């Protein structure tokens, strides 16, 4: 397959952290990649430059504020203009922070639902025709807390629960030409906010494998789903067994 025929993947929020690893893994697998970012332009451009050195004209960057409704449509249009095709949409971008009920605001609601539900939904809507042409895939980054609430994070958990149902709903609606799946990470990277060592230890106690995962674990699951043409409408937990619940002592 020539480089001009190789498949194209758009990954939102992919200048850093998990998104960056997904980009690198897909690029290594032969995909041309579109790195979306909001404010991390330096990291996005550095990543694209490195990937284009490995394989010319194989990586592009696109800025967009996913909370801006008009920017969503423009991002979709610009993504299609990059390589004149799209095979994969990975909805990775996500806001995450606590919202205790007593202090939760409408801005919190708009931010958490906007990044975790609204943006993935309307990007899927805008890009579905192009994805359908190539029997494409949508992969949504869900969360184990879509089904098991995290204390003081009610709005985030509700948004991820909506994304979980969106994944299943669109898998039905967009079949047979587009497959839609989700990945529910457990403890992969510690949050950007500082976490006490005691809190980290408490989380590790909830994980049967007794360790955190790696960004590669998530990126490899993305690749697995792309190479699994009979899987659709599924949410795969990549969490070391954490979603099994607390161990019961005899």
The closest alpha carbon to 163, from 184, 177, 148, belongs to 184
- Give the tens place of pLDDT for each residue, 180-197: 999 999 988 777 666 788
In percent, the amount of the chain with pLDDT more than 70 equals 95
Q: To which residue do tokens 């587009």 refer?
A: 178
Confidence at residue 57, expressed as pLDDT on a 0 to 100 scale? 97
Does the annotation count 156 as an active-site position?
yes
pLDDT at 246: 62
pLDDT at 249 over 50: no
- CA dist 33 → 166, 169, 223 (Å): 24, 26, 13
Residues 37, 121, 156, 230: which is the catalytic one? Answer: 156
CATH topology of domain 8-238: Rossmann fold (3.40.50)
Note the pLDDT tens digit of each residue in 31-67: 999 999 999 999 999 999 999 999 999 999 999 999 9
Assigned token pair, 126: 């805008």
pLDDT at position 178 is 98
pLDDT > 60? residue 247: no
Name the residue ranges covered by the structural domains of the chain.
8-238
Global pTM reads 0.95
Categorize the per-residue pLDDT at 168 as very low, low, confident or very high, splitting at 50, 70 and 90.
Answer: very high
- The predicted-structure confidence for 10-31, as pLDDT tens digits, reads as follows 999 999 999 999 999 999 999 9
């Amino acid at each position: 397959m020539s480089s001009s025929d190789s498949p194209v993947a758009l990954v939102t929020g992919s200048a850093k952290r998990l998104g960056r690893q997904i980009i690198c893994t897909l690029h290594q697998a032969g995909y041309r990649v579109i790195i979306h970012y909001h404010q991390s332009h330096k990291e996005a451009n550095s990543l694209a430059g490195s990937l284009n050195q490995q394989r010319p004209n194989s990586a592009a960057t696109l800025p967009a504020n996913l909370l801006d409704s008009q920017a969503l449509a423009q991002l979709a249009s610009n993504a299609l203009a990059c390589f004149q095709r799209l095979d994969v949409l990975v909805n990775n971008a996500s806001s995450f922070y606590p919202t205790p009920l007593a202090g939760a605001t409408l801005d919190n609601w708009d931010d958490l639902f906007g990044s975790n539900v609204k943006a993935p939904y309307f990007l899927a809507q805008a890009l579905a025709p192009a994805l359908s042409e190539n029997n494409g895939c949508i992969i949504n980054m869900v969360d184990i807390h879509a089904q098991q609430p995290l204390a003081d994070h009610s709005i985030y958990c509700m948004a991820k629960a909506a994304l979980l149902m969106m994944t299943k709903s669109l898998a039905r609606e967009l079949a047979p030409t587009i497959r839609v799946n989700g990945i529910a990470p457990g403890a992969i990277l510690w949050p950007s906010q500082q976490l006490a060592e005691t809190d980290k230890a408490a989380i590790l106690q909830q994980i049967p494998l007794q360790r955190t995962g790696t960004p590669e674990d998530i990126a490899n699951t993305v690749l697995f789903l792309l190479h699994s043409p009979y899987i659709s409408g599924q949410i795969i937990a990549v969490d070391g067994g954490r979603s099994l619940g607390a161990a019961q002592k005899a």
